[in-house]
Amino acid sequence: MSVERAVRGLGLSAGYVGTAGMYLPAIDAPNAFPGATAEFARYTQFNSAGQITGGFGTDMLLTNRSHSTYHALQTSAQGSVAKAGPQIQLNFTWAKSLDDTSSVIGPGVGGTSAAPPAPQDPFDTAADKGSSTFDVKLAFTATVMQDLHAERAPGLRLLGPRLMGGWQLLSISTMASGLPFTVYSGVQQTGVGSMGVDPPDQIGRPVLSTGRTIREDYFGLGADNASYFYIPVNVPGGTGPNDGVFGTLGRNTFRGPALYNFDFALIKDTGWELGQSRKSMNLQFRAELFNLFNIVNFGLPSNILEGSGFGIISRTASNSRQLQFSLKVMF
């Protein structure tokens, strides 16, 4: 559902977009995960010592039980600003995508963050409902193109329209919120086995790196980043070899660094006519600057508590500044 209106040469629109995905593929484990005890591996036979004597092993089934929803406010403005002003196209989206699994392959969502496709608890898949791993909450893009009309400038007219005509400036700017990720303990907490997706408890509120100078240490405590979390093992009523329970931390409860990118291009179009055939040809020169301000966009941090470098970002999510020249013939 959307509304549109023209205002002084600009087309403005605002709309609600909603979608629902049903019968989406997901991975299930009806006989629990590897390392499951007799209490949870229902189709495996154990002796009194807990040793496997028969039955079925771990079965991973591809089912269609998953469901997703997407809601968004999408706005845009496009057209010309004033009589000789630039052509602009602005888009802003405020959205939310929810599901209980975002892939059936895995194992990652980018950088050093892992996102296994299996649920944390094969017998309670609803506990995994949360932000999709590809959910972008806020996104803004701006495209601006300006014809320079250099052939009209008093000091440049003598150079002729062939040389000074057809020059344009183009800029494309993108700003988007970071992708969500989950913190996993990295150990088998319960008797259902382990796929590396057991959640811990969160016991502290970290100040994320977006507000600090050293941005690559996402949780801010370096080697002590894990102190914000607690792995509930050796607790009363716990199951499995570690006598543990599932933690209370939800799926995709943290969000990585935002993305900022500004591209710029200088373009020159020169038209030609080929001999007596009068066929037209266009020669286009482009000088392009990608990531004009050389902004460092960080990827996601390592998200396994018991893994190395927990909470540290070790790679970027975009390239450094790049300059590119090209010459194209179109006919």
Taking only the tens place, the pLDDT of each residue in 187-213 is: 999 999 987 789 999 999 988 876 666
Q: Please tell me the number of Cα atoms within 13 Å of 88 on its side-chain side.
A: 18
Whether the per-residue pLDDT at 106 is higher than 80: the answer is: no
pLDDT at 33: 92
> How much of the chain exceeds pLDDT 90, in percent?
67
Q: What is the pLDDT of residue 81?
A: 86
- Contact (Cβ atoms closer than 8 angstroms) between residue 10 and residue 79: yes
- Long-range (24+ apart) CB contacts under 8 A made by 269-274 are 269/166, 269/168, 270/162, 270/165, 270/166, 271/166, 274/331
**CA–CA dist 189, 233 (Å, integer):** 6
Closest by alpha carbon to 128, among 113, 140, 117, 144? 117
Average pLDDT of the chain is: 89
Cis peptide before 107, with omega less than 30 degrees from 0? yes
| DSSP summary character for residue 164 | H
Mean pLDDT across 296-318: 91
**How much is the pLDDT for 271?**
81
DSSP-based three-state secondary structure for 14: strand
Task: Round to whole Å and give the CA distance between 308 and 276.
Answer: 71
For 268-304, write each residue's pLDDT tens digit.
988 877 666 567 788 899 999 999 999 999 999 999 9
Percent of the chain past pLDDT 70, that is, above it, reads 93
Handedness of CA 47, 51, 55, 60 (dihedral sign): positive
Residues 6-33: what's their mean pLDDT?
Answer: 94
- Tens digits of per-residue pLDDT, 63-75? 999 999 999 999 9
**Domain range list for the chain:** 2-330
Cβ neighbours of 326 (radius 10 Å): 11
CA distance 61 to 87: 52
Output Rg (C-alpha) for the chain, integer angstroms.
28
Contact 98, 45 (CB under 8 A): no
